[in-house]
Amino acid sequence: MDKIVALCKRRGFIFPGSDIYGGLSNTWDYGPYGVELKNNLKRSWWKASVHNRDDVLGMDAAILMNPEVWKASGHLENFYDLKVDCKSCKKRFKVVDLKESNKCPECSGDLTEPRQFNLMFKTHQGAVEEEASLLYLRPETAQGMFVNFGNIIDSCHLKLPFGLAQIGKAFRNEITPGNFTFRTREFEQMEIEYFVHPDEADKKLEEWIEERYNWYINLGIKNENLRKREHSNDELAHYARACTDIEYKFPFSSAGESACGGAWSELEGIANRTDFDLKQHAKISGKDLEYFDAESKQRFYPYIIEPSGGVDRAVLAFLSDAYSEQEVRGRKRVLLSLHKDLAPVKIAILPLLTKRAEIVKLAKDICGNLKKQFYCVYDDTAAIGKLYRRQDEIGTPYCLTVDVQSLEDKQVTVRSRDSMQQERISIDQVAAYFRDKLGQD
């Protein structure tokens, strides 16, 4: 994990938040390549979950919601951790992490009695900080989709089964954030709420578990690092009847986050939320949220199957999985073998001789043309060996070099990241060549 954290800082993926002020406990800022990777990941998810399907539509709800939402959802009553404080070193721990010990794991000091700690961040709207202006930052994006169920039915005329998909920030006042971006207080979720007839819920749950598992595999996660794990009854959230986690074998140095120990930890959960949420919102809001089935003339509350993943955890998993070190001609080569769809930069254009103005111009012209279709960068700030190493470390699938010969034979050299093979390509063929290799960006 230390190597991943170091690479992320060195190569502009992820920086410690508020770095120049000494940081702010486990907050992270995505730099230029981090944001490209994250955007590519979200785009891939949106394409697979919304655009490539006929039964899922997207939406984007507000982060701030009427506090009644959190009463209905059960978050005000149930969304808490039990915590204890060490009376000596003052550190705070989750009771579940203490594994039945009643001494501080850091200094063996005495612990306070367990206290409930609600994980929702509070804030106030408007000028006066009083009880009536109290709001919460959403701890999950899901509720924005449940409260719009009626609006979607009325405006989009959908028939069951159908889903809503959303990507957005969520906030939880975690007691023990850590393990880089794995557990933070501000993070992004990508969630689908799939509404089904109750009789179909079990079947659809299985289908979504497969679909979501395959999404990670198809984007390059190694089989041996990904697994499914069904929740035991005592692990289930207050709203869920069944849940299977997709777990990744994160390279944590410490004991790990997983309920079953080790580095295997939750990447995404796929839950059967039953009709809990729609019934609760109908009850508290007084609005009719039943679905009317025109064929059977029945009215009922659909069940909800929810694949809920973390964007930041997925970025961390893809970075960890793609990272490798190799020995090439006696030198260490750090390589990020990201899937082409996720790679922050698709092609780096590198002139071999910057003293020759014609070479620089030709390289910049090629870059300008390719940029119309792919995210490319032009770089002439170091010798070619160093430029290749830089691009290998950020996972750029292709480097294109322009040399003296290019001026005469109108060809350039294309180097592939993974094989390090080089081939000469005619300049008027490069766009077609990359379309073939990379697909449309």
Q: CB of 285: closest distance to ligand GAP in angstroms?
A: 19
Shortest approach of ligand GAP to residue 350 CB, angstroms?
37
Q: How far is the CB of 115 from ligand GAP (least distance, A)?
A: 20
Nearer to ligand GAP, 140 or 392 (CB): 140
What are the structure tokens assigned to 178, written together? Answer: 């850590």
Closest distance of CB 112 from ligand GAP, Å: 23
Choice between 87 and 238, CB closer to ligand GAP: 238
Within 10 angstroms of residue 118's Cβ, the number of other Cβ atoms is 18
- CB of 234 vs ligand GAP, minimal distance in Å: 16
Smallest distance from ligand GAP to CB 289, Å: 18
The contact set with ligand GAP (CB under 6 A) reads 140, 142, 172, 174, 183-184, 187, 189, 191, 266-269, 306, 308-310, 312-313
| CA pseudo-torsion sign 178, 42, 165, 244 | negative
Q: How far is the CB of 186 from ligand GAP (least distance, A)?
A: 8
CB neighbourhood size of 157 (10 A): 7
Q: Which is nearer to ligand GAP, 179 or 391 (CB)?
A: 179
For ligand GAP, the closer CB: 163 or 351: 163
Which residue number places its CB atom closest to ligand GAP? 310
Whether the Cβ atoms of residue 399 and residue 367 lie closer than 8 Å to each other: no
Taking the CA atoms of residue 342, residue 345, residue 347 and residue 353 in that order, the dihedral angle to the nearest 10 degrees is: -150
Minimum distance of ligand GAP from residue 421's CB (angstroms): 37
Q: How far apart are CA 428 and CA 130, in angstroms?
A: 67
For residue 225, the 8-state DSSP code is G
Q: Which is nearer to ligand GAP, 138 or 390 (CB)?
A: 138
With respect to ligand GAP, which residue has the nearer C-beta, 145 or 350?
A: 145
CB 167 within 8 A of CB 188: yes
Helix, strand or coil, per DSSP, at residue 51: helix
Query: What is the Cα 5 distance to its own chain's centre?
Result: 17
Both tokens of residue 87?
């009376």
Closest approach of ligand GAP to the CB of residue 181, in Å: 7
119: nearest Cα among 97, 102, 136: 136
In angstroms, give the least distance from the CB of 12 to ligand GAP: 21
Check: CB of residue 223 under 8 Å from CB of residue 211.
no
- Count how many Cα atoms sit within 13 Å of the Cα of residue 35 in the half-sphere of its side chain: 5
Residue 74 φ/ψ region, left for φ over 0, alpha for ψ in the -120 to 50 degree band, beta for the rest: left
C-beta of 37 vs 142, nearer to ligand GAP: 142
Q: Considering the complex, what minimum distance in angstroms separates the CB of residue 333 from ligand GAP?
A: 31
| Cα 304 to Cα 301: distance, rounded to the nearest angstrom | 9
Supply the minimum distance, in Å, between the C-beta of residue 105 and ligand GAP.
Answer: 20
Comparing CB distances to ligand GAP, the nearer of 267 and 367 is 267
User: Which CB sits closer to ligand GAP, 27 or 285?
Assistant: 27
- Contact predicate 315/5, CB 8 Å: no
Cβ nearer to ligand GAP, comparing 85 with 247: 247
C-beta atoms surrounding 65 within 10 Å: 17
d(CA 98, CA 236): 20
Structure tokens given for 206: 């299985």
Residue 165 Cα to chain centre, angstroms? 14
Closer CB to ligand GAP, 33 or 79, in the complex: 79
Query: Which C-beta is closer to ligand GAP: that of 306 or that of 392?
Result: 306
Do residues 29 and 23 touch, judged by C-beta distance below 8 A?
Answer: no
Cβ neighbours around 237 below 10 Å, total: 15
Please give the sequence-ordered ranges of beta strands (E in DSSP) within 183-293, or none if there are none: 186-196, 226-230, 242-249, 264-272, 291-293
Fill in the amino acid letter for 388.
Y
